[in-house]
């Protein structure tokens, strides 16, 4: 049987044949830490006296808070600057933009190569046929020190796009069509490869949009076989001739999926769930307070052109704030040189310097209580972009809505804008009390007993577990009290949980960002184990590397109740309910998970 793209890339970077399910030590061509995670990477390297394997392949990118406008971010950035000077590590400072985009623009990474970052949307590298993966602080530190990280070879889903969308449908709408079919966890643990006549003709910007949204489908990476335009672009920026990596004709796929995009019209995702996709017309007329164009998903120059086309000779509706943030400084300068900034400012938009913007809570783009926002970002999880409601859409739909003052597509902009005079809802912040975290136990038992907390919910994302407003916290002892602070009905979990308790949840636990804090907060509380039907790919790695016991098992589907006691064997995967002696089979720890757990973490010797 032939090989898929991901199998070929991993084989080329580990030196031996692999198949899905194998664990390989993968050489990493580019290793990036961002500003919110960079200081923790530095701390790990210093605490464990680890070297830098190859400074020429190692970078900091300050894309979460370009401007250092928050004191804690500024502190973290300065820690990284000092370390970079001492070790000769590359740095893209606050004036440069989103790290993964910079990696493509500057030829740091090319087709068939590997990149890791503390960015959960590092899989945009699939747009050029490269392997990009978001990872936590410990993984990044290990890669900086060793030049490689362990990785479980994923199975691949082959996705074929069939049909021709309507002219006003954009790449974001195609991504929504895929997301509507897969749901939030339909690609969980899989690599995806995209094919079809429409795929062959897609621009790099289109491919980036869809590859980025793969994270919201639970996928490892969405790989696009490079077309000639992508090969020529990468050869230009890398200053050498590059070749693509392509699947064999007889490659083995776990699933083959067809997504029909014939006559596809503009869509939006409703607040709270990127997979809750509906046609624009079904929510047309909903008044908005703000609009946002940018993010790693839709911050390319082509996206800016779409917005300028719609804003030209128009004004943003009264009472609406339109915020525009290009992905990189190169895009920003292209907008300046080609007159797009003039169009934006004349229309009444606010333009920020290049970066992640509202997604990272570190720049313009956040919203307040009761605020209704339409955004070209990739996530609209509750609380992710602020305390309001966020609809996701293409840049064209966002711009049209900003002019209209209400959600609409570009063919339905009214002659007079809607004016919204409603009062915003006020919300009172309430942070639950927490016990003082104690040091983790040094003895690592292979079988534990504990009481359970059962959360019958799928797709619990990292913003629900540990909200991004607390990302500047680096001391693990301070993290526990914020656990589930943003999960409705569980805001007081930290005050009620005891050391040794077990959390039970549904599918795709830990979806979303690559933040290590969403693991460390449980360690801070002394949680003994998390059992979920499945885990987000990055979250699973972070937990294993931090020696936080996690196990995949469908325990949430049983009639188990809060407070019930169970015993769990990590080596066999056996779960026993104390009250009735029921035995449930979970997934036993792999050899590498067991080894990392026993020594207390990936970086422990």
Over the stretch 209-238, which tens digit does the pLDDT of each residue have? 999 999 999 999 999 999 999 999 999 999
Above 70 in pLDDT, residue 316? Answer: yes
Taking a C-beta distance cutoff of 8 angstroms, is the pair 519, 136 a contact?
A: yes
Q: Answer whether 327's CB lies under 8 Å from 294's CB.
A: yes
Instruction: Provide the pLDDT confidence category of residue 360 given band limits of 50, 70 and 90.
Output: low
Q: Which residues pair with 114 in a beta bridge?
A: 131
- Per cent of the chain over pLDDT 90 is 84
**Residue 7 CA neighbour count, 13 Å, CB half:** 18
d(CA 186, CA 363): 31
pLDDT at 357: 79
Torsion of CA 315, 319, 324, 325, to 10 degrees: 160
Evaluated on CA atoms 439, 445, 449, 453, the torsion sign reads positive
* pLDDT beyond 80 at 318: yes
Residue position matching structure tokens 């990493």: 28
286 CB neighbour count, 10 Å cutoff: 18
Cβ within 8 Å of residue 412, ≥6 positions away: 281, 284, 400, 404
- Maximum CA extent, the chain: 72
- The confidence score (pLDDT) of residue 242 equals 97
Say which range, 46-55, 65-74, 181-190, 423-432, has the weakest mean pLDDT. Answer: 423-432
Closest CA to 193 of 205, 177, 178, 173: 178
Whether the pLDDT of residue 504 is over 60: the answer is: yes
Higher pLDDT, 65 or 564: 564
**What's the whole-number mean pLDDT along residues 406-427?**
76
What is the reported pTM?
0.86
For 442-483, how does the pLDDT look when each residue is reduced to its tens digit (9 = 90+)? 679 999 999 999 999 999 999 999 998 888 787 899 999 999
258-301 pLDDT tens trace: 999 999 999 999 999 999 999 999 999 999 999 999 998 999 99
Q: In what order do the strands lie in the sheet with 267-269?
A: 277-279, 267-269, 389-392, 372-375, 290-293, 321-324, 350-351
**Residue 441, pLDDT above cutoff 80:** no
Query: Angle formed by the axes of helices 137-146 and 35-47, to 10°?
Result: 60
Give the confidence band of 432 by pLDDT, cuts at 50, 70, 90. Answer: very low
Q: What is the pLDDT of residue 32?
A: 96
pLDDT-above-70 percentage for the chain? 95
* 170, pLDDT greater than 90: yes
Q: Of 387 and 273, which is predicted with more confidence?
A: 273
pLDDT digits (tens, 9 = 90+) for 511-546: 998 889 999 999 999 999 999 999 999 999 999 999
Report the distance separating Cα 98 and Cα 324, nearest Å.
Answer: 14
pLDDT of amino acid 421: 57
* 369 pLDDT tier (thresholds 50, 70, 90): confident
- Cβ neighbors of 467 (< 8 A, separation 6 or more) are 383, 482, 485, 486
The pLDDT confidence band at residue 362, using thresholds 50, 70 and 90, is: low
- CB proximity list for 578: less than 8 A, separation 6 or greater: 449, 564, 565, 566, 567
Q: What is the pLDDT of residue 108?
A: 97
Residue 291: strand pairing partners: 322, 374
Query: Which residue carries 């997301």 as its tokens?
Result: 179
pLDDT at 422 over 60: no
Buried b (16+ CB within 10 A) or exposed e, 404-433: bbbbbbbebbeeebbebeeeeeeeeeeebe
Domains defined along the chain, listed by start:
5-260 (3.30.499.10), 267-412 (3.30.499.10), 447-599 (3.20.19.10)
Q: For residue range 84-108, what is the model confidence (pLDDT) as tens digits?
A: 999 999 999 998 999 999 999 999 9
Q: How confident is the model at residue 4 (pLDDT cuts 50, 70, 90)?
A: very high
């Amino acid at each position: 049987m032939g090989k898929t793209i991901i199998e070929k890339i991993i084989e080329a970077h580990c030196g031996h044949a692999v198949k899905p399910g194998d664990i390989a030590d993968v050489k990493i061509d580019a290793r990036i830490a961002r500003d919110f995670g960079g200081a923790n990477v530095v701390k790990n390297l210093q605490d464990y006296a680890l070297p830098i394997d190859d400074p020429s392949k190692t970078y900091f990118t300050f894309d979460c808070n370009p401007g250092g406008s928050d004191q804690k971010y500024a502190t973290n950035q300065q820690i990284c600057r000092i370390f970079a000077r001492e070790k000769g590590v590359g740095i893209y400072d606050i004036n440069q933009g989103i790290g993964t985009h910079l990696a493509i623009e500057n030829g740091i990474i090319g087709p068939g190569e590997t990149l890791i970052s503390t960015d959960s949307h590092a899989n945009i590298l699939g747009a050029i046929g490269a392997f990009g993966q978001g990872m936590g602080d410990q993984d990044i530190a290990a890669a900086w020190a060793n030049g490689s990280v362990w990785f479980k070879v994923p199975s691949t889903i082959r996705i074929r796009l069939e049909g021709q969308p309507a002219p006003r449908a954009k790449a974001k709408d195609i991504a929504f069509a895929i997301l509507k079919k897969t749901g939030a966890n339909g690609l969980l643990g899989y690599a995806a490869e995209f094919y079809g006549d429409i795929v062959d003709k897609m621009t790099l910007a289109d491919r980036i949009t869809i590859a980025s949204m793969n994270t919201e489908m639970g996928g490892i990476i969405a790989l696009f076989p490079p077309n000639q335009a992508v090969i020529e672009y990468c050869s230009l920026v890398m200053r050498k001739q590059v070749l693509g990596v392509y699947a064999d004709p007889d490659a083995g796929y776990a699933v083959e999926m067809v997504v029909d995009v014939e006559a596809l019209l503009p869509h939006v995702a409703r607040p709270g769930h990127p997979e809750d996709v509906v046609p624009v017309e079904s929510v047309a007329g909903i008044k908005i307070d703000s609009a946002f164009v940018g993010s790693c998903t839709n911050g390319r120059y082509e996206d800016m052109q779409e917005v300028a086309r719609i804003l030209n000779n128009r004004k943003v509706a009264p009472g609406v704030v339109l915020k525009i943030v290009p992905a990189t400084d190169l895009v920003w300068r292209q907008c300046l040189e080609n007159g797009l900034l003039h169009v934006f400012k004349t229309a009444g938009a606010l333009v920020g310097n290049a970066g992640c913007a509202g997604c990272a809570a570190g720049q313009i783009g956040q919203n307040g209580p009761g605020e209704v926002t339409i955004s070209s970002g990739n996530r609209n999880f509750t609380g992710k972009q602020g305390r309001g409601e966020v609809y996701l859409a293409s840049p064209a739909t966002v711009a049209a809505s900003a002019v209209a003052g209400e959600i609409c597509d570009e063919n339905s902009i009214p002659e007079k804008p809607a004016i919204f005079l409603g009062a915003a809802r006020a919300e009172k912040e309430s942070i639950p009390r927490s016990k003082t975290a104690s040091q983790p136990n040094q003895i690592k038992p292979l079988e534990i007993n504990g009481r359970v907390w059962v959360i019958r919910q799928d797709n619990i994302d990292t913003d629900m577990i540990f909200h991004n407003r607390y990302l500047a916290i680096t001391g693990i002892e301070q993290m526990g009290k914020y656990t589930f602070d943003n999960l409705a009905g569980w805001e007081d979990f930290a005050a009620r949980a005891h050391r040794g308790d077990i959390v039970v949840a549904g599918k795709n636990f830990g979806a979303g960002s690559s933040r290590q804090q969403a693991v460390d907060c449980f360690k801070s509380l002394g949680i003994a184990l998390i059992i979920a039907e499945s885990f987000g790919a990055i979250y699973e790695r972070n937990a294993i590397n931090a020696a936080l016991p996690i196990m995949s098992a469908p325990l949430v589907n049983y009639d188990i109740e809060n407070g019930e006691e169970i015993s769990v064997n990590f080596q066999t995967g056996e779960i026993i309910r104390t009250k009735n002696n029921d035995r449930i089979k979970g997934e036993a720890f792999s050899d590498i998970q067991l080894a990392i757990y026993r020594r207390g973490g990936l970086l422990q010797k």
